[in-house]
Amino acid sequence: MKLIAVTDDRLSIHKLAETLLAIEPYIDAVILREKSKTDREVFELIHKLKLDGFDKTKIIVHGRADLASLTNIHKVQLPGHGLPLPLLKEHFPSLSFGKSVHSYEEAKTAMSEGADWVLYGHLYETGSKALLPPRGTDELNKIISALAIPVYAIGGIKPSHIENLAVDGVAVMSSIFGSDSAITAAKSYYDAMNTKRGNLL
């Protein structure tokens, strides 16, 4: 099971880079979801991360295939309302694409259009989706059974949930970047995943 950190667009470039470098040992990937930052700022963030030694294979650019291509990053996470996936795959054949989905049908469509993975949510109650009811795990488990590509989950997931989730990985935003200590928070998920792996042996 993989741990994907999702940035929350609240930190400066330098503070965010510092935080990501600190939690890198505990995460498998990070989705740079910095909606309010300019393209130049995200470009500079990626450049700084690479310059400071962050493993660029862990970086996933949110929404912008062109920006990923320009910075030699090979993974893009597309929002549900993003550009058509087949068109992007045609124009950026060297990139891998994940798609955010909110239903079984959306997940099936994403796979048929060539998505390399899907991100399903939101699973549990979360402050960032306070007005929307959580989707729970029933449909998630249906998606896992039907898809031949990795399925990741997002939304209100706590370390205590890890043991009972059969996904390929979880994506976490507020619990890491909204905590007093991003390192402690990331390590708590890392430890829960290691415990789950140990229980499966």
Q: What is the dihedral of CA 97, 65, 28, 21, to 10 degrees?
A: 180
**Could you give the C-alpha distances from 67 to 63, 64, 73, in angstroms and in order?**
9, 5, 8
Query: Can you give the residue ranges of every domain in the chain?
Result: 2-200
DSSP 139-180: HHHHHHHH-SS-EEEESS--GGGGGG--SSEEEESHHHHTSS
pLDDT given for residue 199 in this prediction: 75
Is residue 45 classed exposed, middle or buried when 0-12, 13-18 and 19+ CB atoms within 10 A define those classes?
A: buried
pLDDT given for residue 198 in this prediction: 80
Domain 2-200 bears CATH identifier 3.90.1010.10:
no
Average pLDDT over residues 86-106: 97
Evaluate whether 41 touches 13 at the Cβ level (below 8 Å). yes
Residues 6 or more apart whose Cβ sits within 8 Å of residue 86: 113, 114
pLDDT tens per residue, range 148-173: 999 999 999 999 999 999 999 999 99
pLDDT given for residue 39 in this prediction: 95
pLDDT given for residue 134 in this prediction: 85
pLDDT given for residue 78 in this prediction: 98
Q: Is the pLDDT of residue 197 over 90?
A: no
pLDDT tens per residue, range 101-131: 999 999 999 999 999 999 999 999 876 666 6
- The CA-to-CA distance between both ends of the chain, in Å, stands at 14
pLDDT given for residue 150 in this prediction: 98
| Mean pLDDT of the chain, nearest integer | 95
pLDDT given for residue 127 in this prediction: 67
Average pLDDT over residues 181-192: 98
Rounded to 5 degrees, φ, ψ at 2 are -105, 150
Q: What is the set of active-site residues? A: 122
Other beta carbons less than 10 A from residue 120's beta carbon: 28
